């Protein structure tokens, strides 16, 4: 009797084990089938805006305008700096004896105000450069993103990632050649 009980227990245990194995195999087959189905529907691409945007003629025009703007600000800054240096050299030279005490005080005050103005100008110029850059690049970026959207839709891409933001990614296609072609760039 104990032998029969052992065999029945063993068979019952083996049946449970077999059920577990069969259910695991079925689940794995289901997951594999669903993954294959998902991959068939998902098309992934990537593009580097850092590589693409400089190829656009609009970007080159914006970059040229930005250079002109920076040069104008730099020239204005140099004029302020030159004016300050002139006032400072007058105040630190031996020629100060020809000025009255009141005149020297006014000149020092002017030099201090100009120095403060120069310090503020650097901050203001930096803000102006950022604002101008956003103003000039916004339409270029919009055109680039619109072209990427169009190519993704035409080519059936489900996801398009920015190349610089990815360290690891599944097999994907670089959209750069397709978007360049769409916009007629070489």
Q: What is the 3-state secondary structure (H, E, C) of 161-178?
A: EEHHHCCCCCCCEECHHH
The percentage of the chain sitting over the pLDDT mark of 70, rounded to a whole number, equals: 78
CATH topology of domain 42-183: Protein Binding, DinI Protein; Chain A (3.30.910)
- Residues 45, 160 contacting (CB under 8 angstroms): yes
Q: Which residues contact 174 (CB under 8 A, 6 or more apart)?
A: 45, 46, 47, 163
Please, where are the H alpha helices in the chain?
2-41, 49-52, 57-91, 101-155, 176-183
- DSSP letter at 160 equals E
CA distances from 56 to 80, 114, 141 (A): 37, 42, 10
pLDDT digits (tens, 9 = 90+) for 118-139: 989 989 999 999 999 999 999 9
pLDDT digits (tens, 9 = 90+) for 8-26: 444 554 655 555 554 444 4
pLDDT level of residue 72 (50, 70, 90 thresholds): very high
Q: Which residues contact 88 (CB under 8 A, 6 or more apart)?
A: 111
Q: Which residues contact 178 (CB under 8 A, 6 or more apart)?
A: 151, 155
pLDDT score of 142: 95
Chain centroid to Cα 115, Å, comes to 36
């Amino acid at each position: 009797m104990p032998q029969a009980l052992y065999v029945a227990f063993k068979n019952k245990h083996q049946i449970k084990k077999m059920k577990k194995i069969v259910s695991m195999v079925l689940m794995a087959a289901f997951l594999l089938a669903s993954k294959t189905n998902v991959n068939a529907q998902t098309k992934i691409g990537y593009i580097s805006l850092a590589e693409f945007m400089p190829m656009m003629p609009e970007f080159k025009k914006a970059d040229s305008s930005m250079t002109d703007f920076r040069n104008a600000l730099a020239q204005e800054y140099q004029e302020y700096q030159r004016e300050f240096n002139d006032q400072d050299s007058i105040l630190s030279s031996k020629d100060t004896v020809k000025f009255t005490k009141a005149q020297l005080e006014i000149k020092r005050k002017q030099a201090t105000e100009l120095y403060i103005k120069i310090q503020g100008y650097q901050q203001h110029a930096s803000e102006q450069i950022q604002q101008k850059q956003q103003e000039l690049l916004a339409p270029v970026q919009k055109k680039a993103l619109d072209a990427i959207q169009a190519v993704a839709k035409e080519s059936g891409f489900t996801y398009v990632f920015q190349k610089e933001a990815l360290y690891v990614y599944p097999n994907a296609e670089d959209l750069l050649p397709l978007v360049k072609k769409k916009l007629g760039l070489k």
